[in-house]
Amino acid sequence: MTQLNNSMAGLTHISPKFVSARSDANSAAGSALLLQGGQKCQLASPGQNLAKLLPPYLEHIQAERSLSLNTVISYRRDLTFFVSWFNSVNFSGAPAKVPSRGEILQYLSSLRAKGQKPASVTRMLASLRGWFSWLKDMHFIARDPLEHFENPHRIKKLPQVLTTDEISMLFAVSSTAREKALLELMYGCGLRVSELVGLNVADLNVGHGLIKCLGKGSKERIVPMGNQAINALALYRADQAARTAEQLKKSADALVLEATRAARPGAKAKRGRPRKVVPVAVAAVAVKSKSRPRAVKAEPLFKDEQGERLSRLVVWQIIKRLSQKAGIKKSISPHTLRHSFATHLLENGADLRAVQELLGHSNLVTTQLYTHVSRAHLKSAYTQAQTNFGLAL
């Protein structure tokens, strides 16, 4: 949770009253954009107020639309870059206006000139489209500059997948119980890396071979686990328990050593107020007497060396290191294992709808992309059609 809080640094908390109390905005210093006589909105001071409308929108997409934290961070980064660029090209002493469609196209062209990939430019356009649409719906601006604007044609690339032999090579070079458990859940269950690091111990149902994960848009889904994944998790949790017991023993030994040194003749007493020792029974009664019991913090399934929740970056580094160790020439990421999971299921005759449920796709079109990767699936359909061809002649 510490990592999540740190990643949200810079997202100013704005009360929903900021959005609804538009009648007081004219009298407030640095007010937001307002409609004035049905004419085009103007900013009270250039280079400031456009940025002030960003925090309430970020709160809206997180609280009301339930977008994931990573998506909110991406929107904040994209829109902050655009506001900085817009202020730099429009800071001329005159009141700054709402960006026009031509200015937005100029900004997108500058991104392409800097070598941004088409996917990044399309994502930036989606961020701007959502923001300006919300500003119009909330009556902060009179006209949406991107209304009826068509998205540029985007060439869909087939996802990078690994062969079954390359998957076996990854498992062969994994040396620790944590690495094997990570690989099993990403390849054997098709989890996204954000779903993987967000798992808690309470999300496991080993008896039924199921695992609960939180996907995009805070949507929960239940994914089955195979025997190999269950065994890998059992070994990993046993290894974690052994490490925890060893750390507790080291801490206890350190306390005993410190007490022994303090009890020696001639040992200098520590300066300062003596520590107050509360009996265990009294402490238990004090905890029960509190009117608001503290919420129990969920225990992460995968932890780092400091005992904190594992980060996505660490998982990415593990996959990169294992692929280099295995001699795999392809440039892969944790999401490559998810692509391979879906492709290998289709190659072995899995139903497309079942694969959609396992991946957590809301649209079947997204899952159909893997049918273009899996040539074995197409060949099977072709063979079946050829078998029945001509029987009625």
- How many whole angstroms from its chain centre is CA 210? 22
Enumerate the H helices of the chain as residue ranges. Answer: 2-7, 17-20, 49-52, 54-63, 69-90, 101-113, 118-137, 164-173, 177-188, 193-197, 227-262, 280-288, 312-326, 334-347, 352-359, 364-373, 375-388
- Concerning whether 187 is annotated as a catalytic residue, the answer is no
- Integer Cα distance of 74 and 59 in angstroms: 13
Are the C-beta atoms of 345 and 164 separated by less than 8 Å? no
- Concerning whether 339 is annotated as a catalytic residue, the answer is no
Residue type, 6: N
Are the C-beta atoms of 187 and 194 separated by less than 8 Å? no
- Integer Cα distance of 365 and 156 in angstroms: 12
Bridge-based pairing state of the strands 220-224 and 204-205: unpaired
- Concerning whether 237 is annotated as a catalytic residue, the answer is no
Residue type, 163: T
Of 107, 187, 236, 370, the active-site residue reads 370
Of 123, 216, 237, 303, the active-site residue reads 216
Of 60, 338, 344, 377, the active-site residue reads 338
At CA 91, angle to CA 110 and CA 59, rounded to 5?
Answer: 75
Read off the tokens for 84.
């900085």
- Concerning whether 112 is annotated as a catalytic residue, the answer is no
**Residue 362, by phi and psi: left (phi above 0), alpha (psi -120 to 50) or beta?**
alpha
Nearest alpha carbon to residue 221 among 320, 335, 358, 338: 358
- Concerning whether 370 is annotated as a catalytic residue, the answer is yes
Of 192, 309, 344, 377, the active-site residue reads 192
Q: What is the dihedral of CA 135, 141, 147, 152, to 10 degrees?
A: -70
- Token look-up 């961070």 returns 73
- Concerning whether 192 is annotated as a catalytic residue, the answer is yes
Active site members = 192, 216, 335, 338, 361, 370
